[in-house]
Structure 1
Amino acid sequence: MNIVTPDLGLIFWQVVIFLIVVLLLRAYAWKPILSSLKERESSIEGALRMADQAKLEMQQLQAGNEKLLAEARMERDRILKEATTMSNQFIEQAKTKATEEGARMIEQAREAIRNEKNAALAEVKNTAAQLSIDIAERILRRELTDQPAQQQLVDSYLKEVKLN
């Protein structure tokens, strides 16, 4: 049974060797392993914090981009509204100016027609007066050569004057 039950000296030396191995491992292996594990853990935590910060910054940037897009859309709408208003004003001004110009041209045409009409009437009157004078002159020449006819003409004119 010696083989199965260890001797007290053997147990002592095994415990001593175990403690030496544990101390050596603690001094040279566990400290570097634990420190590298702690460094790795802290670097992972730092990376996670940085990822969270990056995520927050991305959300802020997205919110800023959305705000800029909304402002740009509002500015675009405002510019389009102003352009529409200005074009409508220009159209109204052009219509008004065209209407006024048309009315002025119509009035000028009417005035020209009145002037031409008056000139034509004056010429017709002048022509009629000239023809009347020519006819009267011819009649008077013919009538004044004959004395009784002359007397009869004077009498008829006197009767007309008295009647009027």
Structure 2
Amino acid sequence: MGPLEPKANDLIVAVICFAAVFFTFAKFLVPRITRTLEARQDAIEGTLARSEAVHAEARRIHAEYQAELSEARHEAARIRQAATDDGSLLIQEIRAEGQRQRDELVASARAQLEADRILAEAVLREDVLRLATDLAERILGEPITDERRARETAEAFFAEVDADSSAKA
């Protein structure tokens, strides 16, 4: 009898041992192995799902960050533009105020110059009249007593000079 023709006793013992090992594997080991494989599969799928969820959350947060960054840039540009506009407006107001003050100073100076000119002209006319009278007294060798006539003569002279200067202007 050889290995291809076993004895019936050996065959029955081998079948019982095989059945016992098979039953032990089927009853205890295969369910544990199955549970372990399923747990691993669930862990892998759960980790994958969690990683996809985390990745999606990261993409959402990144998009929000980009949107906030873009909004902040727009806000900064708007603030810069508003500051530039305010600065330009302030410069225009300061220039207008400076122009107004300059015009007031120029007008005041012109009025003061005109008043000073009129005053100086009156003083000079009196001085010229006095000098002319003194000169006439020296030339004639006697005092001029008719002050009214001397004043009229000087006024006529000044009127003639004023008319000549008006005609030349």
Which category describes the TM-score, using the shorter chain as reference length?
A: 0.7 to 0.9
Distance 1:10 1:143, change over 3 A: closer
Alpha-carbon distance in 2 for matches of 1:113, 1:13: 143
> Higher mean Cα deviation, 100-109 or 5-14?
5-14
For the pair 1:82 / 2:72, whether they are aligned, the reply is no
Q: Which residue of 2 aligns with 1:41?
A: 41
Alpha-carbon distance in 2 for matches of 1:116, 1:143: 31
Cα deviations by residue, 1:64-112 (Å, 9 ceiling, x for unpaired): 0110011000000000000000111111111111111111111111111
Alpha-carbon distance in 1 for matches of 2:96, 2:68: 41
Question: TM-score when scaled to structure 1?
Answer: 0.77
Distance 1:142 1:6, change over 3 A: closer
Q: Which residue of 2 aligns with 1:3?
A: 2
Question: TM-score when scaled to structure 2?
Answer: 0.75
Question: Deviation of residue 23 (structure 1)?
Answer: 0.9
Distance 1:71 1:28, change over 3 A: same
Larger Rg: 1
Alpha-carbon distance in 2 for matches of 1:68, 1:57: 16
> Higher mean Cα deviation, 131-140 or 27-36?
131-140
* 1:10-21 equivalences in 2 (<5 Å): 10-21=10-21
Question: Deviation of residue 137 (structure 1)?
Answer: 7.5
Alpha-carbon distance in 2 for matches of 1:41, 1:143: 140
Question: Deviation of residue 136 (structure 1)?
Answer: 7.1
Determine which structure has greater relative contact order: mean sequence separation of CA pairs < 8 Å that are 6+ residues apart, divided by chain length: 2
Tell me which amino acid in the other structure corresponds to 2:2. Answer: I
Q: Which residue of 2 aligns with 1:58?
A: 58
Identity %: 22
Alpha-carbon distance in 2 for matches of 1:80, 1:25: 78
Tell me which amino acid in the other structure corresponds to 1:34. Answer: T
Q: Number of residue pairs matched?
A: 143
Question: Deviation of residue 13 (structure 1)?
Answer: 2.1
Structure 2 unmatched runs, 5+:
146-169
The alignment's C-alpha RMSD in Å is: 2.3
Q: Which residue of 2 aligns with 1:155?
A: none
